[in-house]
Amino acid sequence: MAKFWWGDNLNEKKIHLLAWEKLCVPKAEGGLGFRNMVLFNQALLAKQGWRILQYPDSLIASLYKAKYFPDCGFMDAKSVNGGSYAWRSIVHGRELLRKGLRFQVGNGNRIRVWSDPWVPLPFSFKPISRPPDGLEDLRVVELLDNELHEWNVPLLRELFTPCLDPK
């Protein structure tokens, strides 16, 4: 698309009337609505990463696991030197995927309170409070009342800064 808009021929030069960033602005905001192809490509690669997470028994996920992350999960796998172009690309897309993923609590055994994304807050999905000394490795399961099968509210009030209601 950029070559069409700004491509030059041997005998004629084209005028660059708008910067690419302006062309990618949505039409509703005064732009031409072009897709930013770099971001679009990363979104498609993130979708492939999502498929590896959702269908770990699929052929492609099994192949990637055997070759690139036999001892860990997809989200912890490294982009190794000599890895295929496809694998390195999916790892690039995984960074976008990481921005939107969060844990579903379940029993909370595996979720680290302070470092894993699990809180239904926008952007980081992590608590905004700082961990108290000695509780840096606290797990979500420790915030639950085992007998009542609900949150331990007094402990939550002690550990976390209350969120202000924007209304």
- Contacts of 1-10 with CB under 8 Å at 24 or more apart are 1/34, 1/37
The answer on 141 and 123 residing in a single domain is yes
For residue 9, what pLDDT is reported? 66
Statement: residue 165 has pLDDT above 60: no
Side-chain half-sphere CA neighbours of 154 within 13 A? 1
Q: Rounded to whole angstroms, how far apart are CA atoms 69 and 78?
A: 8
Q: What local confidence, expressed as pLDDT, does residue 103 receive? A: 84
Q: 78 and 110: one domain?
A: no
In this structure, the answer to whether residues 92 and 115 fall within a common structural domain is: no
Q: Over the stretch 12-50, which tens digit does the pLDDT of each residue have?
A: 766 767 777 787 888 898 888 888 888 899 999 999 999
User: DSSP of the chain, one letter per residue?
Assistant: -HHHHH---SS------S-HHHHTS-GGGTS-----HHHHHHHHHHHHHHHHHH-TTSHHHHHHHHHH-TTS-GGG----TT--HHHHHHHHHHHHHHHH-----TT-SS-BTTTS--SS-SSS-S-SSPPPTT-TT-BGGGGEETTTTEE-HHHHHHHSPPPPP--
Least confident window among 108-117, 123-132, 142-151: 123-132
- Do 123 and 136 have their domain in common? yes
pLDDT tens-digit map of 51-95: 999 999 999 999 999 999 999 999 989 887 888 999 999 999 998
Residue 116's domain comprises 106-167
19 & 44 share domain:
no
- Provide the domain count of the chain: 3
What the block records as the tokens of 108 is 């909370």
pTM of full prediction above 0.95: no
Residues 167 and 111 in one domain: yes
Q: Which of 100, 128, 149 is the last residue of a domain?
A: 100
Domain C-terminal end among 75, 100, 125 = 100
